A and B are shown apart, each in its own frame.
Chain A
Amino acid sequence: MTSPENPRLSREDVAHVADLARLALTDDELDAFTGQLADVLDHAADLDALDLDDVPPMANPFPLVNVLRADEPGNDDVRAEVLAAAPSVEDGRFRVPPVLGEAP
Chain B
Amino acid sequence: MSDQALIPGWEVVIGLEVHAELATVTKMFSSALNRFGGEPNTNIDPVSLGLPGSLPVLNEKAVELAIRVGLALECVIQPSVFSRKNYFYPDMPKDFQISQYDLPINGVGSLELPDGRRIGIERAHLEEDTGKSTHVGGGGRIHEAGHSLIDYNRSGVPLIEIVSAPDMRCAEDARAYVSELRAILVAIGASDGKMEEGSMRVDCNISVRREGTAGLGTRCEVKNINSLRSLGRAIEYEARRQVDLIESGDKVEQQTRHWNEDDGRTHKLRSKEEAYDYRYFPEPDLVPVEPSDEWIAEIRAALPMLPRERRRRLADAAGVEPSDTALTVERGMDDLAVDTIAAGADAARVLVHIANNLADGVGELTAAPFAALVAMETGGDLTAAQARSVLADLVASGGDPATHASTHGFEAMDTSELEALVDRFIAEHPDDWAGFVGGDDKERKKKAGFFVGQVMKATRGQADGRIVNELLARRSAEA
Contacts and interface: CB of A to CB of B under 8 A. Distances in A.
Do A and B form a real pair? yes
A93 B40 contact: yes
A65 B60 CA distance: 13
Given A67-B287, A93-B41, A102 B25 contact: no
Contacts of B454: none
A99 B30 CA distance: 27
Contacts of B143: 100-101
B224 to A, nearest CB: 8
Interface string A42-82: 00000000000000000110101111111111101011001
Contacts of B59: 68-69, 71
A76 B276 contact: no
A76 B40 contact: no
B149 A60 contact: no
Contacts of A69: 31, 57-60
Contacts of A98: 135, 137, 145-148
Given A98-B135, A99-B90, A99-B135, A79 B41 contact: yes
Contact of A72 (B25, B81, B288): B25
A100 B46 CA distance: 26
Interface stretch (B277-285, B299-307, B349-357, B455-463): B277-285
B348 interface: no
Contacts of A28: none
Interface string B127-148: 0001001111100001101111
Majority secondary structure of chain A interface residues (helix, strand, loop or mixed): loop
A66 B286 CA distance: 9
A74 B32 contact: yes
B269 interface: yes
B60 A68 contact: yes
B465 interface: no
A82 B49 contact: yes
Contacts of A67: 57-58, 286-287
A4 interface: no
B288 A70 contact: no
Contacts of A1: none
A64 B49 contact: no
A76 B148 contact: no
A57 B87 CA distance: 25
B20 interface: no
Contacts of A65: 79, 287-290
B30 A74 contact: yes
A97 B287 CA distance: 36
A86 to B, nearest CB: 10
B14 interface: no
Contacts of A90: 136, 149
A83 interface: yes
Contacts of A97: 147-148
B237 interface: no
Contact of B150 (A16, A78, A94, A104): A94
Interface residues of A, number: 37
B92 interface: yes
A103 B91 contact: yes
B288 A60 contact: yes
Contact of B148 (A68, A92, A96): A96
Contacts of A93: 40-41, 134, 149-151
Best-buried of A62, A96, A103 by chain B (most CB within 10 Å): A103
A91 interface: yes
B325 to A, nearest CB: 35
A20 interface: yes
B44 interface: yes
Contacts of A62: 287
A15 to B, nearest CB: 13
A74 B45 contact: yes
A77 B89 CA distance: 25
A1 B59 CA distance: 45
Contacts of B282: 59-60
Contacts of A73: 25-26, 31-33
A99 B142 contact: yes
Interface in B48-74: 49, 51, 57-63
Contact of A59 (B61, B150, B276, B288): B288
Given A66-B291, A68-B58, A74 B149 contact: no
Interface of A: 16, 20, 22, 59-60, 62, 64-74, 76, 78-79, 82-83, 90-104
21 contacts: A22-B88, A59-B288, A60-B284, A65-B290, A68-B57, A69-B59, A71-B25, A78-B45, A83-B41, A93-B40, A93-B151, A94-B90, A96-B148, A98-B135, A98-B137, A98-B147, A98-B148, A101-B269, A103-B87, A103-B89, A103-B133
Per CB-CB distance, the 6 closest pairs between chain A and chain B, nearest first, are A74-B31, A71-B61, A76-B45, A93-B149, A68-B60, A59-B282
Interface of B: 24-26, 30-33, 39-42, 44-46, 49, 51, 57-63, 79, 81, 86-92, 103, 130, 133-137, 142-143, 145-152, 223, 258, 269-270, 276-279, 282, 284, 286-291
